[in-house]
Structure 1
Amino acid sequence: MLTHLQQSEDLPPTFTIAPLSRDHAAAIFFNWSISEHWNPTAQGDDLNEVYFPLDAGAFFAGMTISPTTGETKIVSILSGVRYDAEQAWVGFYVVDPAQRGRGYGLKTFQHVLNKHLGNDSARTSIGLDGVMAQVSNYRKSGFTNVAWQNERRHGDLVQLVEVQEAALADKIRSGGVSGLRDLAAVDGAQLAAMEVQYSGLKRPEFVRRWVQFHSGVQETKHRFGTAVLAEDGKVLGFGCIRPAQTSYRIGPIYASSPEVAKQILVKMAIDVVETEKRHPMGVPLEVDIDMPNTNKHAVELFDGLGWKDTFPSLRMWKGPVPEHDVNGVFGITTLEVG
């Protein structure tokens, strides 16, 4: 006859899913992103300052509970950030490598879709940027509509401003490029409208927080935001750059033309390189940007710089693909939240 202890040891652990608190979510999601080599933003500041405040109940963990000891262990994570009644985004999908193949990830995924986001594809567009190895699984979960394929282009910031685009960099430094502005000084409504136009994402509160995140911290955090304005004050394009673990990350670059996109790119590179000289942070002066390969102008821009594709992903939607003009997207904002 089995003892009670032996019977308990034979029982599988209980599995439960719950949202995490802000501090817990920031630490877990940041550290797991590092373990997956996703090159997240330095110190996970974007999680703390932008992502979590948008939807405080959006960061979930799947946990096992031991029937013998009661020990709780996180085995899966996933975020489901809702922007409004019509749009949401799924990201940070990770399962503990030692726990894969047991269905924990799928249960977490289904919980976030069905319980948190509502999963009403008739009226809600739920997006994600899926790694290619998981595309077939996402399709099985209803993510059957594709907007575009991303390519992660990798470059060198010093080479960009001192060799590849040295003439443009000198012109920018001397004030010869009109319309360049610090992003914090630009009308936020125009920025949000530009994101809707080009990517289809309707999230003015996110844009406001993203601009704030990249403003007023240039010397201490090495985050920068740049815009190009026409003479009448219309925004022609804008971009942001921030330090990550192994490089800088750019996102987004929205621009009305390749020339505007290049001006934004070079201006942000100048800001980073010169600030690093004054106040070294130690992050390698390299850069990653995820761009849609259906924008031929973006492809030509980064091909011309010799920036290679190092990581593909697919922008997929469950429900209608929001109307957008991909030709203005030279870099998406972030894989984690769209």
Structure 2
Amino acid sequence: MEYQIKTADLDEIRIMLEWARIEGWNPGLDDASTFQKADPSGFFIGYLNGAPVAAISNVRYSSEFSFLGLYIVKPEFRGLGLGYKIWQHALNYSAGAARGLDGVVEQQANYVKSGFKLEQRNIRYSLTKNAIRNYNDTNLKMVDLLNLQIVLTYDADFFPAKRDKFLTAWLLAPHAKSLAYLVNNEIQGYGVIRKCSNGYKIGPLFADKQEVAMALFQGLCSSVAQNQSIFLDIPESNLKAKELVDHFKMDSIFETARMYTQPIGDISMSRTYGITSFELG
């Protein structure tokens, strides 16, 4: 039995995301290319006797912080220790850095063994049929190259490390729409909606006030096809985000355990109405 772990290229990242789709994680249509922009060396795939069987990502945003995701072993190869080996390979990639992940709840105890501690629950909500259309607010502006830097600067309050390369690709992806809430050219929030295997996901959704988050949510929903499912992942700790999903009668369908190996400081969870992604933080 020959098991080889290598850095995944773009085609192999697409394989990883196809596995994620099969697992029900509903990746975005542009996720392979945008994820790779975050850290081209941070995606790993395991081959057993020449066939891909396991995968993981550990995106190193800086020497101080990385985020793990896409940890998958094909079902027929589980229980052979292949997952543990690729997990250790990924951890070694960011040795010395604080690490984060969004793990399924049933695996939380295993992550604790690797030094992760629970920070909070993130909960996915679904709007089964998007009926929001023709929403208009003059403060909502499409994110483009002219206002991109304003958004990148604002984002720094919400993440443990700079992520400009990834975020630029995320904001301008072909199957995404990005809106900023600007008052006299001062930003008060922004959000992204992207086409996924099933419906659309909103993320991130960051806003200084709940009414700004509500405006962004409605603007994003009205910018895409009607009668499609809309998904939003909120931090349980933000009660105003819970009020937003309740207002639109969204249903809770899934949750993860956000965990870190070290304290990561204030990242404005009270202004986080939707996290960017379970895979990259």
Provide the TM-score with structure 2 as the length reference: 0.94
Q: Which residue number in structure 2 is paired with residue 148 of structure 1?
A: 120
Q: Which string of whole-angstrom CA distances, capped at 9 and with x for unpartnered residues, describes residues 20-45 of structure 1? A: 2222322x112111110111112xx2
Amino acid at match of 1:148: Q
CA–CA separation in structure 2 for the residues paired with 1:52 and 1:204: 13
Q: Is the 8 A contact 1:76 1:108 kept in 2?
A: yes
- Deviation of 1:321 after TM superposition, in Å, equals 2.1
Alpha-carbon offset, residue 195 of structure 1 = 2.3
Residue 311 (1) aligns with residue 254 (2): yes
**Greater C-alpha radius of gyration:** 1
User: What is the CA–CA distance in structure 2 between the aligned matches of 1:298 and 1:200, rounded to whole Å?
Assistant: 21
Return the offset for 1:91.
0.7
Spell out, residue by residue over 1:102-161, the C-alpha distance to the aligned partner (whole angstroms, 9 max, x if none). 2111111111111x212x1xxx221111111111111111112x3321110100453344
Where is the helix percentage greater, Structure 1 or Structure 2? 1
Q: Does 1:265 align with 2:217?
A: yes
CA distance in 1, matches of 2:37, 2:278: 18
Instruction: Name the SS for the 1:134 alignment partner.
Output: helix
What residue in structure 2 maps to residue 323 of structure 1? Answer: 266
The residue identity in structure 1 corresponding to 2:192 is: C
- Given candidates 139, 157, 180, the residue that maps to 1:227 is 180
1:241 paired with 2:188, answer no
Unaligned runs of 5+ in 1: 1-12, 66-71, 162-168, 277-283
Q: Which residue of 2 aligns with 1:58?
A: 42
Contact 2:54 2:73 in 1 (8 A): yes
Matching residue's letter, 1:74: P
In structure 2, the CA distance between the partners of 1:58 and 1:200, relative to structure 1 (3 Å rule), is closer
1:98 shift after superposition = 0.9
Pick from 130, 138, 143: which aligns with 1:183?
A: 143
Question: Is residue 92–residue 336 contact of structure 1 (8 Å, CA) maintained in 2?
Answer: yes
Mapped contact 1:126–1:318 kept (Cα < 8 A) = yes
CA distance in 2, matches of 1:156, 1:31: 23
Q: In terms of mean alpha carbon deviation, does 87-96 or 194-203 score higher?
A: 194-203
- What is aligned with 1:252? 204
Choose from 71, 94, 97 the match for 1:117.
Answer: 94
Say if 2:47 and 2:54, in contact at 8 Å, map to a contact too. Answer: yes
Match of 1:47 among 32, 35, 39: 32
In the alignment, is the contact (CA less than 8 A) between 2:62 and 2:161 conserved in 1?
no
**Contact in 2 for aligned 1:199/1:326 (Cα 8 Å):** no
Unaligned runs of 5+ in 2: none
Secondary structure in structure 1 of the residue aligned to 2:276: coil
Determine if contact 2:65/2:160 at 8 Å carries over to the other structure: no
Q: Which residue pairs with 1:158 in the alignment?
A: 130
* CA-based RMSD: 1.8
Answer whether contact 2:124 2:255 (CA < 8 A) is retained.
yes
Per-residue deviation, 1:296: 0.7
Secondary structure at the aligned position of 1:272 is classed as: coil
Q: Give the whole-Å Cα distance in 1 for the aligned partners of 2:267 and 2:90.
A: 26
Give the AA of the match of 1:265: F
The Cα shift of 1:247 comes to: 1.4
How many residues in Structure 1 have an aligned counterpart in Structure 2?
Answer: 281
Counterparts of 2:52 and 2:167 in 1: how far apart (Å)? Answer: 31
Displacement of 1:201 after TM fit?
4.1
**Counterpart for residue 78 of structure 2:** 100
Counterpart residue identity of residue 157, structure 2: Q
Q: For the Cα contact (< 8 Å) 1:188–1:207, is it kept in 2?
A: no
Offset at residue 285 of structure 1 (A): 0.9
Q: Is the 8 A contact 1:228 1:264 kept in 2?
A: yes
